[in-house]
Amino acid sequence: MSLLNRTAGALYRRPRLRLSLLLTAPLLWLAVLYLGSLSVLFVSAFWTTDSFTSEVVKVWSTDNFHELFTVPVYRQVILRSIGVALAVTVLCAVIAFPLAFYTARVAKPRRRPLLVVAILTPLWASYLVKVYAWRLILSQGGLADWMLKPFGLSGPGFGLPATVLTLTYLWLPYMVLPIHTALEQLPANLLDASADLGARAGRTFRSVVLPMVLPSVAAGSIFTFSLSLGDYITVQIVGGKTQLIGNLVYSNIELNLPMAAALGTVPVVVIVVYLLAMRRTGALSSL
């Protein structure tokens, strides 16, 4: 007991000691496991592979990055992946905004928690189950075809549009939640003030609501963008013959680890650039 008290007292008097004891484990995790593996990834991208045995040869070379920029297919796949991630992000934002506006400001306050739970429910289902469900919906004669038939249309089938659609479905909650929170926390009297100064609803939305919720949209977009950029399973299931950067990493991981590492650094770099861009909008503080 007294030993415990003495220790507690000693810790109380030495805030630095307390802090370092508290932070040692997480910092170690961050530095060694997280940043360590990232840097190993980056370093191994500069190695090469024995073409016959697929063994990694630890000889310094920038060939992989050179290939990355000169082989057209890599550039094409990288651009396609970024395009998919952006399309998913834009779609998510466009769908999430009215949805969140309803759950945060229009719906009866009593029902709001329920609606939020409803939006989160898909997150409880297994990723694969959801994607395979979309495979069924989008397959020939599936739900999408059946619903579009009366209009003389057919579903998108498997391919790039199906991938964007499915990823949008998968990551939508990550966009709805921050926007919902921002809209919920938006002070009501700011809307009153805008109306009071003569602004109609549309103007209030453009000039007050949108700019104030934008950081949260950006925060949500960090999720949707990076999750989409890293995904390679959805595209395998509903993407038809589409290849994204994750598929290239996957197909290279056994045979050409350094190339896979070089490909793997691309999304890391893209996301860092994206984060830096989003930081300007104040998104990081709304996470």
Partner 1 sequence: MEGIAIQLRDLRKSFGDTTAVAGVDLEIKDGEFFSMLGPSGSGKTTVLRMIAGFESPTGGTVELAGQDVTGLAPFERDVHTVFQDYALFPHMTVEANVAYGLKVRGVPKTERLARARTALAEVRLEGYGTRRPAQLSGGQRQRVALARALVGRPRVLLLDEPLGALDLKLREQMQVELKALQREVGITFVFVTHDQEEALTMSDRIAVFDQGRIQQVGTPAEVYERPATPFVASFVGTSNLLEGESAERIVGTPGTYSIRPEKIRVLKDSAEPDDPDHESPDHESPDRDTPDQESPDHESAAGTVAEVVYLGDSTRFLVDLDAGGRLTALQQNLETSAEDVAAYRGSRVRLQWHRRHTVHVPDPR
Partner 2 sequence: MRLTPTLKAVAAVATLVLAATACGSSGSTGSSSGGLNPPDLKAQSKLGKSEGEVNLIAWAGYVEDGSNDPKVNWVSDFEKQTGCQVNSKVAASSDEMVKLMKTGEYDAVSASGDASLRLIASGDAAPVNTSLVPNYKDIFPDLKLQAWNSVKGKAYGIPHGRGANLLMYNTQKVTPAPTSWSAVFDDASKYKGHVTAYDSPIYIADAALYLKATKPELKIKDPYALDQKQFDAAVALLKKQNADIGEYWSDYLKEISAFKSGDSVVGTTWQVIANLTADEGTKIKAFVPKEGSTGWSDTWMISAKAKHPNCAYQWLDWIVSPKVNAQVAEYFGEAPANSKACAETSDKNFCTTYHAADTAYWKNIAFWNTPIQQCLDGRTDVKCVPYAKWVQAWTEIKG
Which residues of this chain interact with partner 2, rule CB under 8 A? 31, 35-36, 38-40, 42-43, 49-55, 57-60, 71-74, 76-77, 135-136, 139-142, 157-158, 236-237, 239-241, 243, 248, 251-252, 254-256, 272, 275-276, 279, 284
CA distances for 38 relative to 57, 159, 262, 269, angstroms: 19, 31, 12, 11
Nearer to partner 1, 86 or 195 (CB): 195
Q: Which residue has the tokens 């190695």?
A: 47
How many residues interact with partner 1 (rule CB under 8 A)?
A: 17
Region of 158 (left: φ > 0; alpha: ψ -120 to 50; beta: rest) is beta
**200 in contact with partner 1 (CB under 8 A):** yes
The 148-187 site mask, x for binding partner 1 (CB under 8 A), equals ---------------------------------------x
What's the half-sphere exposure (Cβ side, CA atoms, 13 Å) at 128? Answer: 0
Nearer to partner 1, 166 or 286 (CB): 286
Could you say which of 121, 203, 272, 276 contacts partner 1 (CB under 8 A)? 203
Largest Cα–Cα distance in the chain?
A: 82
Q: Which does 195 bind (CB under 5 to 8 A by kind): partner 1, partner 2, none?
A: partner 1
Bridge partners, 56 (sequence order): 49
* Shortest separation between residue 279's beta carbon and partner 2, angstroms: 8
Question: What are the structure tokens assigned to 88, written together?
Answer: 């998913």
Which amino acid would we find at residue 221?
S
Could you say which of 41, 56, 95, 195 contacts partner 1 (CB under 8 A)? 195
**287 in contact with partner 1 (CB under 8 A):** no
Give the binding range for partner 1 (CB under 8 A) out of 3-11, 116-124, 162-170, 190-198.
Answer: 190-198
First to last CA, the chain: 42
Q: Which does 109 bind (CB under 5 to 8 A by kind): partner 2, partner 1, none?
A: none
The DSSP output letter for 239 is S
**What whole-number distance in Å separates Cα of residue 97 and Cα of residue 82?**
22
* Shortest separation between residue 54's beta carbon and partner 2, angstroms: 6
Q: Which does 239 bind (CB under 5 to 8 A by kind): partner 2, partner 1, none?
A: partner 2
Bridge partners, 57 (sequence order): 48
Question: What are the structure tokens assigned to 83, written together?
Answer: 């395009």
The 210-229 site mask, x for binding partner 1 (CB under 8 A), equals -xx-----------------
**What whole-number distance in Å separates Cα of residue 63 and Cα of residue 208?**
51
Q: Which does 196 bind (CB under 5 to 8 A by kind): partner 2, partner 1, none?
A: partner 1
Residue 138 near residue 155 (C-beta atoms within 8 A)? yes
**111 in contact with partner 1 (CB under 8 A):** no
CA distances for 9 relative to 1, 13, 14, 23, angstroms: 12, 6, 9, 19
**What whole-number distance in Å separates Cα of residue 257 and Cα of residue 234?**
23
The footprint of partner 1 (CB under 8 A) covers 187, 189-190, 192-200, 203, 207-208, 211-212
